[in-house]
A and B are shown apart, each in its own frame.
Chain A
Amino acid sequence: MSTIVPTVSYPSQNTVKFEWASLTTYDSDPGGGVTEAWDDGTPVPPNWLEYVDRNVQVKGTPGVDFAMVIEGGRDGTNYATLNDAVGTAISFTGVGIKQIQELTPYMRPRITDGEIDVTSVTVIMVCRRERGGEGI
């Protein structure tokens, strides 16, 4: 399993974008039997907690059996699957956009299934905070 580091950018004053490129499914034992392994992403850290309004887009090639969860946790070690705006666990099976309901100190994408040497997706999480008190 590889952990992909996101590219961080600032589309506007109160918005930050995390982009994890090329999360894949691959054979972790190419010389032996087929052993699927899946990438995850370095989590969004706690210092972005004021950016509370978050949505995530998945694009690229999901491949057969693709599944990818958005996970959150308080300590960067133990994670659980987060939910969308209507309380459904976020598990992408294709490309799309979903709202994230919970705000946890650490948040990451993790592929849980896919197609070896086919699955390759980019995950973009956009996080927005409210305007500051000095805004006009």
Chain B
Amino acid sequence: MATINPTVSRIGHHTVEFLYETLTTTNDRGAPIPEAFMDYADRSVQVLGTFGAGGNLRIEGSNDDGTTYAALSDPQGNALNVSAAKVEAITEVTLLTRPFVSAGDGTTDLDIAIVCRRARSGKEI
């Protein structure tokens, strides 16, 4: 098992994208978005790629330094278990957030982009 590190890109002053490429059933988890980005509270995730038979990508959060993770939810209260390409908002802002391939087969190969936005500060015009 390997942990996939994201490519981190700034999109404007207040938005950051974490792009995880080639998550598989072997390299099944991404390095979590750290707590330094807690201000970036408006978060959405896009999942692309090949899910394979029974493939599932879960968005997980942890408040205990990564010892235990649990599934986060979309705005409808459904656990973020993604089994087809789509975009979803993430309701909870936990100290750590990561993607995790919880099921799939030898063809599973997923790219995950998590876009995080913070509010503008009072100093700006």
A interface with B by C-beta (< 8 Å) = 11-15, 17, 19, 53, 55, 57, 59, 84-86, 88, 95-99, 122, 124, 126, 128, 130-136
Contacts and interface: CB of A to CB of B under 8 A. Distances in A.
Interface in B52-77: 61-64, 67-68, 70-73, 75-77
Interface residues on B, range: 20 to 34
Given A11-B38, A85-B75, A85-B91, A136 B121 contact: yes
Interface in B80-125: 91-95, 118-119, 121-123
Contact of A131 (B39, B68, B92): B39
A97 B123 contact: no
A57 B35 contact: no
Interface of B: 35-36, 38-39, 41, 61-64, 67-68, 70-73, 75-77, 91-95, 118-119, 121-123
Interface of chain B, main secondary structure: loop
Contacts of A57: 61-64, 68, 70, 94
